[in-house]
Amino acid sequence: MNDKLREKLIDIEPYVPGDQPKGEGIIKLNTNESPYPPSPRVAEALKNINPSELKLYPDFVCTELKTVLGENYGVNTNEVFLGNGSDEVLALCFKAFFNSDEPILFPDITYSFYSVWAELFKIPYKRVPLKDDFTLDVEGFLNKNGGIVIPNPNAPTGIYEPKSGIEKIIRGNKDSIVIIDEAYVDFSEEGSIAELVHKYDNLVVVQTYSKSRNLAGIRFGYAFANPELIGVLEGVKNSFNSYTINTVTKTLALESGKDRGYFEMCVENIKSTKAYLITNLKELGFTVCPSSSNFVFATKADTDCKALFEYLRSKNIYVRRFDAPKISNYLRITVGTDREIYALTEAISDFLNK
Ligand code: PMP
């Protein structure tokens, strides 16, 4: 390819998702999926999809789906926006709401996709350092900015910032849009701040069915905000792709949303396995961040966690490690089933006793 041609190509360093290894005997604890299948109502609905429905474009309004989501989180149907996974919703939010010469703010240790979207859309950004214990520095988000995005619980630490701190940030930034990415909020004690969209017109809350609803494979995410912000998001979406929710996703997400009992049972199981995982890790000498999510973030001072990561991989156990400042000796471990966590603990123990 000649240089003049190459000059016209975008130069971007993309987000790198965790591995999706396939095969027998793999223990996959690296991308924060649920170890449980989706609700039985989802399986039933999948069986009943009429293939001839698929010849038509999907419904791009999805009123019933928005109504069920709204009922579950205390917001109105016109305060809901839907997308192809929360990654897409977040990307559209960046485009729609971050249009200032001032930098947007996000924590220095956080979801690594934020800087990628900022680079892609040429949005200036600044990382606000977390405190030494990896909790959020609320005051650091009260400086001049072009917008704010914070995951709560944060990723990859799993630490939840109490509602009072988040509300202080929203209140202190009346002229900026504040996006709270609640991908893991269903595993927290205090829960979602979705209802605050009635109180603050600068708040956008983003959630997903990939974690607590056991449906990463259908790609379904959504945002809650006041109707004016939702209208702007719809405008950006319709300038890009009108049909982001396909017919199968719409049908299955609706059934999952209606099955509160199964959802709560899975969340409780994951919380209980998480307690077992944390106990095991502490017994093995790890320091574990307080986790309000479906994963834990842990390190062991006298141990090379990169070598441990590679050892686990050689045993077909996949966890996640980030080659980034301050956290390169940490492992992020998704909560699997009790059996998977038992196998992980045994493998870590073997590595430490080598
Ligand atoms: N936000 C955070 C903090 C995440 O960890 C993830 C999962 N990688 C997402 C958003 C995106 O999830 P999804 O696109 O599957 O909804």
Q: Is 278 helix (H, G, I), strand (E, B) or coil?
A: helix
Ligand 1 centroid from CA 86, angstroms: 6
pLDDT at site 318:
97
Q: How far is Cα 22 from Cα 232, in angstroms, rounded to an integer? A: 40
- Per-residue pLDDT of 238-295, as tens digits, reads 999 999 999 999 999 999 999 999 999 999 999 999 999 999 999 999 999 999 999 9
**Is 277 within 8 Å of 296 (Cβ atoms)?**
yes
Reported confidence tier of residue 72, pLDDT bands at 50, 70, 90: very high
Query: Percentage of the chain with pLDDT > 70?
Result: 100
pLDDT at site 118:
98
- Per-residue pLDDT of 98-110, as tens digits, reads 999 999 999 999 9
Could you identify the residue written with the tokens 């914070």?
A: 150
Ligand 1 close to Cβ of residue 111 (< 6 A): yes
Reported confidence tier of residue 23, pLDDT bands at 50, 70, 90: confident
pLDDT at site 24:
87
Q: Estimate to the nearest angstrom the gap between the alpha carbon of 315 and the chain centroid.
A: 27
Please give the sequence-ordered ranges of beta strands (E in DSSP) within 98-213, or none if there are none: 104-107, 125-128, 148-151, 178-181, 203-208
Q: How far is Cα 114 from Cα 183, in angstroms, rounded to an integer? A: 14
Which residues 6+ apart lie within 8 Å of 274 measured at CB? Answer: 187, 291, 294, 296, 335
Query: What average pLDDT does the structure give for the chain?
Result: 97
Helix and strand numbers, DSSP H then E, in the chain: 11, 12
Residue located nearest, by CA, to atom 2 of ligand 1: 183
Which residues 6+ apart lie within 8 Å of 245 measured at CB? Answer: 58, 59, 60, 62, 65, 82, 83, 84, 220, 253
On the CB side of 212, CA atoms within 13 Å amount to 24
Q: Is the pLDDT of residue 19 over 90?
A: no
Ligand 1 close to Cβ of residue 155 (< 6 A): yes
Residue located nearest, by CA, to atom 12 of ligand 1: 86
- Per-residue pLDDT of 84-100, as tens digits, reads 999 999 999 999 999 99
Ligand 1 close to Cβ of residue 109 (< 6 A): no
Ligand 1 close to Cβ of residue 152 (< 6 A): no
Which residues 6+ apart lie within 8 Å of 17 measured at CB? Answer: 31
- Per-residue pLDDT of 221-238, as tens digits, reads 999 999 999 999 999 999
Residue located nearest, by CA, to atom 8 of ligand 1: 31
- Per-residue pLDDT of 170-210, as tens digits, reads 999 999 999 999 999 999 999 999 999 999 999 999 999 99
Asked if domains 3-38+261-352 and 40-259 share a fold, the reply is no
* Tokens found for residue 54: 């698929």
Residue type, 60: F
Ligand 1 close to Cβ of residue 151 (< 6 A): yes
**Is 237 within 8 Å of 95 (Cβ atoms)?**
no
Q: How far is Cα 31 from Cα 320, in angstroms, rounded to an integer? A: 7
Q: Is 86 helix (H, G, I), strand (E, B) or coil?
A: helix
Domain 3-38+261-352 class in CATH: alpha beta
Q: Is 340 helix (H, G, I), strand (E, B) or coil?
A: helix
Reported confidence tier of residue 135, pLDDT bands at 50, 70, 90: very high
Q: Is the domain defined by 40-259 classed in CATH 3.40.640.10?
A: yes
Could you identify the residue written with the tokens 């010469």?
A: 101
Ligand 1 close to Cβ of residue 87 (< 6 A): yes
* Tokens found for residue 333: 């471990």
36-61 mean pLDDT: 97
- The domain ranges of the chain are 3-38+261-352, 40-259
In DSSP terms, 80 is beta-bridged to 224
Q: How far is Cα 68 from Cα 63, in angstroms, rounded to an integer? A: 9
Distances (CA, A) of 345 to 249, 311, 317, 329: 36, 13, 11, 18
Handedness of CA 163, 168, 174, 178 (dihedral sign): negative
pLDDT at site 18:
86
301-324 mean pLDDT: 97
